[in-house]
Amino acid sequence: MIRFATHRPAVVWAICVALLLAGAIAFTRLPLATRTTVELPRLSVFASWPGASPEVIETYLTSPVEAAIQGVRGVRRVSSNSNDDYAMLTVELEARADVQMARLAILERLELLRADLPPGASPPTVANYVPEGLEEAPLMSLSVFGPYTSGTLQKLLEERVSPRLGSIPGVAGVQVRGGTDMGVSVSYDPVQLRRIGISPQRLSEAIAGARMVQALGALDRGSDPTHATSQNVVLRDQPKALEDLQALPVRGPGARVFKLGELATVRAEEDARGRFFRIDGAPAVAVEISRHPGADAIKTAAALRAAIKDLEPNMPPAVRLRINNDESEDLKEELDDLALRSTIAFGCVLLVLAFTLRRWRAVAVVMGTTAVAIAATALSLYLFNIPANLLTLAGLGMGVGILVQNGLVVVERLGTEPDTPDGRARATQRIMPAIIGSTLTTAVVLFPFLYLQGDTRAAFVPFAAAFVFALGWSVFTALLVVPALGKGVAAQNAAWPRLRRLYARVLIRLLRWRAVTMVASVAVLAVLTWGFVEKVPRSSFGGFGERRTSLSVGLSFPRGSDPGTLDRGMAEFERLVVGRPEIEQVRAAARSGTSAQMSVLFTRAGGLTAVPLELQELLTQRAVLIGGASVSVVGDGPGFSSGGGGSSFATFRIQVRGYSYDGVGRVADDLKSRLERITRVREVRITSGGYFGGERGYQVTLEPDRAALTRYGLNASLLTGAIAREVRGPVGRQLLEIGGDELPVTVKAAGARDRSLEELQEAIVPTLTGAPVRIGDVAIVDAREALSTIVREDQQYIRQVSYDFRGPAKLARRTHTAFIKSLAAPAGYSIIDLTDGSPFDRDESEKGLYLVFAIGVVLVVLSVALVFDSMWGAAQVFLSLPLAIGGVVAAFWFLKTAFTREAAVGVILVIGLAVNQAILLADAALEKRRALREAGLDARLHAGQVLHAAIDRAGMILIVTLAAMASLIPLSVGTDATRLFGAIALATAGGTVAGTLGVMFVMPALLVGRRVRRTRAVVPAASL
């Protein structure tokens, strides 16, 4: 194949031009995104039941849904959180399960379950699970402002803005945030109705009968059977406006008829249900737009901006649309930065080649073949439908210097043969094993990424795919294009006699003192190992791409607290941060009437100042002044020294699991009583399985007195309806179509929104006899403490016992360990120590990176043995790996940089990249061993032969290393090592430099296999 290419350069030219054109077109059509498309073997199921407590949600909603999901094939584990008003379930699938098929199967089971769901519960929804580390932010968010109510603005967004934006190609969904629930309130005075003699139930019955749409049959018209027509008979009666609803007749005593408006106040209302949404301290209604996974983020955002501009003239007077955030702008900045750095890297590599090769034609051929390889890689990504996100582009950016290595080695070897087609083919064929071996060792370390699971696989498989494609095309261009188009490109030997003599003298002494060289190398590796364990910080395996500095404040009150207290408390936090120049945006939202979250996003410049830490301290001090609330202030990003801010969970945590809710509670109470007997233990808390703050609240319970109900002629249905009318909530609402909208109509007694416990006991229940009866006469009304969240996993209930220990850390650890050892869980229960575990659900797939590392080492050794057919050569290459990894450790240690997941990927790349130099030297040594074996001599090399082999390949090794560093340095300089480019580039650069030094100065000592009579070494006339 090589000889065919060298004799037909025109065909090779045509192929290169075709690849360049096809690659350029494919690159323009690749969808751009910040992150890769994620489809993990997990699903999220959400179901809501407004007004229901966690205990009721768990019994009548969560448990049936769990039971239905457990029977689906491929489901491995189900965990659930039952909260006020809703339930959230996480379904973990088998590693090889088809996510979409499992999702469809779960939807089928839930559809069969719909008829058995309690009244008022919404049908469960199923969505793909995306972990926080890989969760892609909405592509764009915009707010609407104007002199209208929140409900009116919400209706405007839902009717005009959302449909228009949702129709744009590339938009996956449009979600409206904020606003209120529109409805109709029918509020009556109980005293007035009793005076008139009308039961409140009559009002509900009148409203229920106001909407009547029913098909009654068909009617034949016309006397002539040949011309008779059949028409459907439909009964249609429903109010068209609030006035029609007010005019509904209600029958009273003595056949007297009243209008509904005479008995109650009928008005439209906007019920926020304790929720709020504010941006920069101002109430707002926002729209969040998500991108389809296969859509180009920049093009989709441009289409959205054009659509918003077209919508603005059609908005009502004084209504404005403002774009709050556009992720495509950050993506464009990242891409521009990457393009600039890649251009600089390309220029640096060009300078290195010009300085070392000293022939413009040789430089043009090497860089031209690199361009062909990159274009062909873009074409491969397009054909295999791999999106060009920042990870894949990072692989191509790093590969600029790495891709030139193969072409550079071939150009350097062409000078060893006559400049003829056959001579160039012979030179290429001789160096082909080294080319294939070095490329194969780089590529094989990336193949184990295919066996990763979870978010690590989703993040790095596209990166690995882009890198492997690039390496494969670089082999094609080096072995076929370079010799075919390489006439007259043979590199001139660089005359650097002083550098050559210096290297020779140093190497002679290192070979003479082989034992000292190897002992010193082992000592250096031991020191670096100690430094990595003791000195190099390992941050939590972080996110991908740029990490912006942010601050999050969580505020929650016990269930039953006044929602206004939550609103005022969060407003206090907002006033402390809104308006500061270092802050880009402040968003505050209440998820329910008892909990809210504030997110503070700092500007890029402000995030690197002392302001984030100052605000964290200020907010923490303010949180202490809020009584009865659970507050967490958490910082994240480069603005905080550890990458994460303060936290509020206890020092020690113990988890209790079991299938009995009460039994788990008894075990947790027993642990609490035993802990409280320890002198230094403080603040023992029992929660439902969460990690922050207390999760207990209060709920009002009613226990009917059946004898009293019977005595007054009441039943449970009448009592339930009466209580629902005396408290706020959606229970008992009815849907009517008014003004073209289907609105809920609720019948409530006046003052139901602000009813106290005592007032609820004094509320009147209408009886069949007309005698007034208080709720407190027929039921016991009381408030009791209860969990606001119930957590289950595989149908096991979970409680957590957390406590603080006051004293020295060693004493605390020793006491906790002794306490855990003294515990014995009852049969059917388990006690788990969570102190050393993460308070968050981490993705266990991160551990797979270490497996990838081990498999990569094995594949490198096997690849070298396969290519060179020599276990001796494979062993020499394997022994060079610790030196390269030591360089990674040294880089992170000396720069005091945390070792993150991105750095771990850099180490995996080092396995394949750093051995390239070792392969070049091992290839030269194997040539000498084969020559000795063919001559019938001892194949073991002596120091003089090793010296000749090292000096022969030293120049090539230096050029390859310089080219690789020229592409890596622009990516790492001025880039935070916690970011994707910086971490991988720093690890790769450190490993490459250390690997080169190890190959040139330490590996020759390992190659010596026999001793000969000491003579003065003769340095060959080879250049460096």
**What whole-number percentage of the chain has pLDDT above 90?**
2
Question: Reduced to 3 states, what is the DSSP secondary structure of residue 825?
Answer: coil
Structure tokens at 64: 């049936």
Categorize the per-residue pLDDT at 953 as very low, low, confident or very high, splitting at 50, 70 and 90: confident
Least trusted range by pLDDT, from 288-292, 461-465, 564-568, 731-735: 731-735
Per residue in 762-820, pLDDT (tens digit) is 777 777 666 778 877 778 877 666 666 788 887 788 888 888 787 776 788 888 889 98
Determine whether 669 is exposed, middle or buried from the number of CB atoms within 10 Å of its CB (0-12, 13-18, 19+): middle
In this prediction, residues 736-747 reach a mean pLDDT of 74
What per-residue confidence (pLDDT) applies to 649? 37
Determine whether 61 is exposed, middle or buried from the number of CB atoms within 10 Å of its CB (0-12, 13-18, 19+): buried
What per-residue confidence (pLDDT) applies to 543? 45
Closest by alpha carbon to 857, among 881, 886, 824? Answer: 881
Q: What is the 3-class SS of 889-923, one letter each residue? A: HHHHHHCCCCCCHHHHHHHHHHHHHHHHHHHHHHH
467 and 600 share one domain: no
What per-residue confidence (pLDDT) applies to 330? 76
Residue 473 placed within a domain: yes
Give the domain extent around 998: 498-540+843-1012
Least trusted range by pLDDT, from 143-147, 174-178, 408-412, 913-917: 913-917
**What whole-number percentage of the chain has pLDDT above 70?**
79
What per-residue confidence (pLDDT) applies to 542? 45
Rounded Cα distance, 424 and 8, in Å: 13
Do 658 and 747 form a contact (C-beta atoms < 8 A)?
no
413 and 533 share one domain: no
826 and 972 share one domain: no
Per residue in 185-222, pLDDT (tens digit) is 888 888 888 788 888 888 888 887 777 777 777 777 66
What per-residue confidence (pLDDT) applies to 449? 60
394 and 458 share one domain: yes
636 beta partners: 550, 644
Residue 388 placed within a domain: yes
Do 487 and 425 form a contact (C-beta atoms < 8 A)?
no
Over 60: is that where the pLDDT of 1018 sits? no
The owner of tokens 């075709």 is 18
What per-residue confidence (pLDDT) applies to 540? 44
599 and 464 share one domain: no
Rounded Cα distance, 334 and 456, in Å: 22
Structure tokens at 830: 């388990």
Least trusted range by pLDDT, from 265-274, 496-505, 541-550, 756-765: 541-550
| Alpha helices, DSSP H, located in 445-513 | 454-476, 482-485, 497-512
What per-residue confidence (pLDDT) applies to 202? 82
Residue 83 placed within a domain: yes
Per residue in 147-193, pLDDT (tens digit) is 777 777 888 888 888 888 888 888 877 878 776 777 788 888 888 88
Radius of gyration of the chain, Cα coordinates, nearest whole angstrom: 37
Over 60: is that where the pLDDT of 492 sits? no
Categorize the per-residue pLDDT at 21 as very low, low, confident or very high, splitting at 50, 70 and 90: very high
794 and 858 share one domain: no
725 vs 655, which has greater pLDDT? 655
Over 50: is that where the pLDDT of 2 sits? yes
* CATH code of residue 407: 1.20.1640.10
Structure tokens at 129: 């699970």
Over 70: is that where the pLDDT of 271 sits? no
For the chain, how many residues are written? 1024
647 vs 272, which has greater pLDDT? 272
Residue 417 placed within a domain: yes
* CATH code of residue 663: 3.30.70
To the nearest 10°, report the CA torsion of 929, 933, 938, 940: 20
782 beta partners: 701
Residue 337 placed within a domain: no
What per-residue confidence (pLDDT) applies to 399? 58
Do 517 and 1005 form a contact (C-beta atoms < 8 A)?
yes
1001 vs 273, which has greater pLDDT? 1001
Last residue of a domain, one of 100, 128, 156: 128
Residue 330 placed within a domain: no
Categorize the per-residue pLDDT at 459 as very low, low, confident or very high, splitting at 50, 70 and 90: low
Over 50: is that where the pLDDT of 1024 sits? no
Determine whether 281 is exposed, middle or buried from the number of CB atoms within 10 Å of its CB (0-12, 13-18, 19+): middle
430 and 380 share one domain: yes
Per residue in 81-106, pLDDT (tens digit) is 888 778 889 898 887 788 888 888 99
- CB neighbour list of residue 670: distance below 8 Å, 6 or more residues apart: none
Over 60: is that where the pLDDT of 643 sits? no
Categorize the per-residue pLDDT at 968 as very low, low, confident or very high, splitting at 50, 70 and 90: confident
What per-residue confidence (pLDDT) applies to 692? 42
What per-residue confidence (pLDDT) applies to 644? 41
User: What is the dihedral sign for C-alpha 704, 705, 710, 714?
Assistant: negative
Rounded Cα distance, 748 and 266, in Å: 11
Rounded Cα distance, 752 and 187, in Å: 9
What per-residue confidence (pLDDT) applies to 394? 62
Over 80: is that where the pLDDT of 338 sits? no
Over 50: is that where the pLDDT of 694 sits? no
What's the distance, CA 1009 to chain centroid?
A: 52
Q: How many domains does the chain have?
A: 5
- CB neighbour list of residue 56: distance below 8 Å, 6 or more residues apart: 49
Over 50: is that where the pLDDT of 652 sits? yes
358 vs 249, which has greater pLDDT? 249
374 and 409 share one domain: yes
Rounded Cα distance, 500 and 1022, in Å: 8
What per-residue confidence (pLDDT) applies to 645? 41
Categorize the per-residue pLDDT at 958 as very low, low, confident or very high, splitting at 50, 70 and 90: confident
Mean pLDDT highest for which of 163-172, 238-247, 339-348, 494-503? 163-172
Residue 447 placed within a domain: yes
Categorize the per-residue pLDDT at 523 as very low, low, confident or very high, splitting at 50, 70 and 90: very high
Q: CA–CA distance from 104 to each of 94, 125, 330 (Å)? A: 15, 11, 36
On average, the pLDDT of the chain sits at 77
What per-residue confidence (pLDDT) applies to 18? 92
806 and 849 share one domain: no
Last residue of a domain, one of 62, 97, 128: 128
Categorize the per-residue pLDDT at 457 as very low, low, confident or very high, splitting at 50, 70 and 90: low
* CATH code of residue 105: 3.30.70.1430
Rounded Cα distance, 989 and 445, in Å: 17
What per-residue confidence (pLDDT) applies to 320? 83
860 and 996 share one domain: yes
452 and 510 share one domain: no
What per-residue confidence (pLDDT) applies to 786? 62
Categorize the per-residue pLDDT at 549 as very low, low, confident or very high, splitting at 50, 70 and 90: confident
Over 80: is that where the pLDDT of 758 sits? no
Last residue of a domain, one of 87, 102, 128: 128
Structure tokens at 160: 């005009």
Per residue in 593-628, pLDDT (tens digit) is 678 889 898 887 888 788 888 888 888 888 777 766
Over 70: is that where the pLDDT of 996 sits? yes
Over 50: is that where the pLDDT of 748 sits? yes
Over 70: is that where the pLDDT of 1012 sits? no
What per-residue confidence (pLDDT) applies to 954? 83
Per residue in 884-907, pLDDT (tens digit) is 888 888 888 887 777 766 667 667
Residue 86 placed within a domain: yes
681 and 821 share one domain: yes
In this prediction, residues 434-442 reach a mean pLDDT of 75
